[in-house]
A = this chain, B = another copy of it.
C-alpha cells in the first residue's frame, strides 16, 4: 500500500499553526499551510477538516478567515491527530473468511484480533506521549 502520510501532513499543519500563533498570527489559510507543507491547498483542507471534526482546530469561513488551534498545543497529542486522520487499522485480518472446517480457520481470528489490538494500543500509547508543543520544542529554532 501506499503508506499514507496523513499524520505527517496534519502534524506539520498543527506545528505551523502553533508557531504562527506564537508569532502573533492566530489563524492561517489553507493556502499558507499548503505553502509550508508543499502540497495542494485542497489536501490541507482535507486534513484540517478531519482535525476540525475532532475538535483539534477551529475553522472560520469568509473574508480574512482560516484555521486556528482548537486548544493549547500542549494538549494536542499525536494520538489525537492519528485518531482524527487515520481511518484504517494497522493490521487487517483475512480478506476472505478462512476455511471453517479447519481448526485453525475456525479459531485463529479472535486470537489475532486480540493480539492486533494489543500491538495497536502499544503503538497508540507511544503516540500519546508527544504533543504538538513537544514537537516544536524538539525542533531547532
Chain A residues in the interface with B (C-beta under 8 A): 1-5, 7-9, 11-12, 15-16, 19, 35-39, 78, 88-99, 102-108, 111-112, 114-115, 118-123, 125-127, 130, 135, 138-141
Contacts and interface: CB of A to CB of B under 8 A. Distances in A.
A119 B126 contact: yes
Contacts of A121: 126
16 contacts: A3-B88, A12-B108, A19-B103, A19-B104, A35-B99, A36-B98, A38-B94, A38-B96, A38-B99, A39-B96, A78-B115, A90-B123, A108-B135, A108-B139, A114-B138, A115-B135
A139 B122 contact: no
Given A7-B91, A12-B94, A122-B125, A139 B103 contact: yes
